[in-house]
């Protein structure tokens, strides 16, 4: 077994308070990772004031120079990639390998570079003898970014990069569970950015609430639970803030009866278990036709058996612990309720309550009622319910019947048929023969209570810009 050492991180030393601070522990081992400073509401006000004061200068910088600054920030991240990945692995719990910590840091680099390459040009809407109207995209001002604990670095970059690209300044409130990863990320980014265009305010929900209410914050970009999203929408209403809400999901995947289970098993498994299932747009309920049911179940069990779970710094692992105890409990309760309902556990489902760390075994649940809680509620962890269907229309109805609709997927060999089924699914994104395959050029966002607004690409730049039409 190869174990990567957890070196004393110089970045960690730079972001920790000289003394005191809140302790952050590794969810896999319980070891102390570091200490975080805690911002008060007064500190937050001061940070917003600095960001507001700097914003006009940043907006006045040419688009080309802002792109160069983002590229320089990407280079700085690349230079610190391994150090950042180790810190992320220890704080969040995700393994270094697989679609996890090293992947997340490298995605931050590529998202920064991609965002630097996009430009939002003015649009000539009308140009005729009697008049000319041109739509310009102005910066909004200060953007408040509130992030979750599952992909703390990557989601922060999704919020930071387009905002800075468009000439906004950004105040970031990381999740209380994973502040060190985001503080370290921002420490590195700031080696390449002018002072005060990007400020971190590590604190708990009260700091996020003040950011959402702050009269000098023009926009909130939020990723997290639907419940907190609703609360932010209410808090932000008084100042008519712009908002991008990327909230919870419970993505359905529908396997069609012409699919090849063996060929698809790996992609279905990782569509569901990426980041140990703690991903907003992960596949969280799988619908499989009766004719392929046993084959799909067997193929998924095989992949699960070949995917080691354990401490993130042990190089062979590709699955890790659940990040925190409340989330572990949600997964445990939902699987327990599925078991009690008579569903069949194909693998996992029996956590060692005395183990060190918040490990929940990779769990596949078959013969489950389509309205059982493990199917209809978001588990956000390593457990996948597999629902049998005999009628495709019925499966589509089940897929569409929840209040959330972030992503979805269709699996089959006939391109026309998969496209037809995809068109009948309600979601922000539907993938064919893949799940959660995001791309910095392709807009991503939710339908229904999974949120509103899109991130990424040119469409994402528009979300952090004020449209301004000049007509003559
Ligand atoms: P939350 O929605 O509670 O937290 C997300 C962020 O919002 C955190 O930074 C949090 O701060 C902050 N926050 C909390 N309360 C407020 C408030 N009133 N105003 C402004 N900001 C606030 O998510 P959790 O991390 O607690 O996870 C709970 C559930 O959310 C999970 O079970 C999962 O279903 C879902 N989730 C979805 C994610 C996604 O990517 N869509 C990501 C993570 C979770 P603090 O952490 O300090 O409380």
Q: Report the chain's mean pLDDT, rounded to a whole number.
A: 97
Domain count, the chain: 2
Is 36's pLDDT higher than 90? yes
8 pLDDT exceeds 60? no
pLDDT at 205: 86
Percent of all residues in the chain with a pLDDT value above 90, rounded to a whole number: 97
Same domain, 192 and 265: no
Nearest-angstrom CA–CA distance, 397 and 390: 13
* 236 and 271, same domain (yes or no): no
Neighbours of 465 (CB within 10 A): 22
Q: Is there a catalytic annotation at residue 280?
A: yes
Same domain for 239 and 256, yes or no, is: no
Distance from the CA of 294 to the center of ligand 1, in angstroms?
Answer: 37
pLDDT, position 204 = 87
Q: Which atom of ligand 1 sits closest to the CA of residue 249?
A: 41
DSSP structure string for 364-390: EEES--TTSHHHHS---SSEEEEEEES
- Mutation to probe ligand 1, out of 228, 276, 327 (largest number of atoms < 8 A from CB): 228
Expressed in angstroms and rounded, the spacing between residue 220 Cα and the centre of ligand 1 is 14
C-alpha of residue 390 to centroid of ligand 1, in Å: 37
Among residues 253, 281, 284, 232, the alpha carbon closest in space to that of 455 is found at: 281
Q: Are residues 458 and 426 in the same domain?
A: no
Strand pairing category for 219-223 and 142-146? parallel
What is the per-residue pLDDT across 315-357, written as a single tens digit (0 to 9) for each?
999 999 999 999 999 999 999 999 999 999 999 999 998 889 9
Q: Would you state the pLDDT for residue 353?
A: 84
Of 104, 108, 209, 280, which is the active-site residue? 280
Q: What is the pLDDT of residue 7?
A: 53
Q: Would you tell me how many other CB atoms lie within 10 Å of the CB of residue 206?
A: 12
Residues 228-254 have a mean pLDDT of 97
- Whether residues 277 and 419 share a domain: the answer is yes
Provide the angle, in degrees to the nearest 10, between the axes of the packed helices 261-273 and 293-305.
Answer: 60
Indicate which CATH number applies to the domain containing 121.
3.40.605.10
Asked if 286 and 367 sit in the same domain, the reply is: yes
Domain co-membership, 403 together with 456 = no
Band the pLDDT of 5: cuts 50, 70, 90.
low
pLDDT, tens digit, for every residue of 399-423?
999 999 999 999 999 999 999 999 9
How many C-beta neighbours within 10 Å does residue 327 have? 22
Domain that holds residue 378: 251-432
Q: How far is the CA of 245 from the centre of ligand 1 (A)?
A: 12
Q: Any residues with Cβ below 6 Å from ligand 1, and which?
A: 146-150, 173, 175-177, 204-205, 208-209, 212, 223-225, 228, 231-232, 246-248, 280, 327, 330, 378, 380
Q: Could you identify the atom of ligand 1 that is nearest to the CA of residue 378?
A: 34
Average pLDDT over every residue of 23-42? 96
Tell me, yes or no, whether 94 and 208 share the same domain. yes
Q: Which H/E stretch holds residue 352?
A: none
Mean pLDDT of all residues in 181-204? 97
| Residue 117 lies inside a defined structural domain of this protein | yes
d(CA 89, CA 102): 9
Q: Sign of the CA dihedral 431, 437, 441, 445?
A: positive
183 & 52 share domain = yes
Confidence of residue 398 (pLDDT cuts 50, 70, 90): very high
Is residue 150 located within the same domain as residue 136? Answer: yes
Asked, for residue 442, whether it belongs to a domain, the answer is: no
Using DSSP's 3-state secondary structure scheme, residue 413 falls into coil
**Looking at residue 9, what is its pLDDT?**
72
Q: Answer yes or no: is 353 within a domain.
A: yes
Nearest CA residue ID for atom 19, ligand 1:
209
CATH number for the domain including 268? Answer: 3.40.309.10
């Amino acid at each position: 077994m190869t174990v990567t050492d957890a070196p004393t991180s110089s970045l960690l030393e730079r972001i920790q308070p000289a003394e005191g601070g809140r302790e952050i522990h590794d969810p896999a081992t319980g070891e102390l990772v570091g200490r975080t400073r805690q911002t008060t509401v007064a500190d937050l006000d001061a940070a917003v004031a600095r960001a507001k004061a700097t914003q006009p200068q940043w907006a006045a910088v040419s688009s080309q120079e802002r792109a160069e600054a983002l590229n320089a920030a990407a280079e700085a991240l690349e230079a610190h990639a391994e150090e950042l990945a180790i810190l992320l692995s220890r704080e969040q719990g995700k393994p270094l390998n697989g679609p996890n910590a090293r992947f997340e840091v490298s995605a931050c680099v590529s998202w920064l570079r991609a965002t630097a390459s996009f430009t939002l040009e003015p649009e000539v809407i009308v140009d005729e003898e009697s008049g000319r109207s041109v739509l310009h995209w102005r910066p909004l001002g200060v953007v408040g970014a509130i992030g979750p604990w599952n992909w703390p670095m990557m989601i922060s970059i999704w919020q930071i990069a387009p905002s800075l690209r468009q000439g906004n300044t950004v105040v970031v409130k990381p999740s209380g569970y994973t502040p060190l990863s985001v503080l370290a990320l921002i420490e590195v980014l700031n080696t390449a950015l002018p002072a005060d265009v990007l400020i971190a305010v590590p604190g708990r929900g009260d700091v996020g609430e003040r950011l959402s209410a702050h009269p000098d914050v023009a926009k909130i970009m939020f990723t997290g639970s639907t419940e907190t999203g609703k609360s932010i929408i209410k808090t932000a209403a008084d100042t008519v803030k712009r908002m991008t809400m990327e909230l919870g999901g419970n993505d359905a995947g529908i396997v069609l009866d012409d699919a090849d289970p063996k060929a698809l098993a790996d992609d279905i498994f990782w569509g569901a278990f990426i980041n140990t299932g703690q991903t907003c747009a992960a596949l969280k309920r799988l619908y499989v036709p009766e004719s392929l049911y046993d084959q799909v179940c067997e193929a998924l069990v095989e992949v699960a058996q070949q995917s080691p779970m354990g401490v993130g710094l042990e190089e062979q692992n590709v699955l890790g612990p659940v990040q925190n105890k409340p989330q572990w409990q949600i997964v445990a309760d939902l699987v327990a309720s599925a078991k009690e309902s008579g569903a069949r556990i194909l693998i996992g489902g029996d956590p060692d309550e005395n183990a060190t760390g918040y490990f929940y075994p990779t769990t596949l649940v078959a013969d489950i009622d389509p309205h059982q809680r493990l199917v209809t509620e978001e588990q956000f962890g390593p457990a996948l319910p597999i629902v049998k269907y005999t009628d495709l229309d019925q499966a589509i109805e089940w897929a569409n019947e929840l209040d959330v609709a972030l992503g979805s997927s269709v699996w089959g060999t006939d391109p026309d048929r998969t496209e037809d089924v995809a068109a009948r699914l309600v979601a922000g994104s539907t993938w064919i023969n893949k799940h959660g395959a995001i791309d910095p050029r392709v807009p991503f966002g939710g339908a229904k209570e999974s949120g509103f607004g899109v991130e990424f690409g040119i469409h994402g730049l528009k979300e952090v810009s004020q449209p301004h039409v000049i007509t003559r």
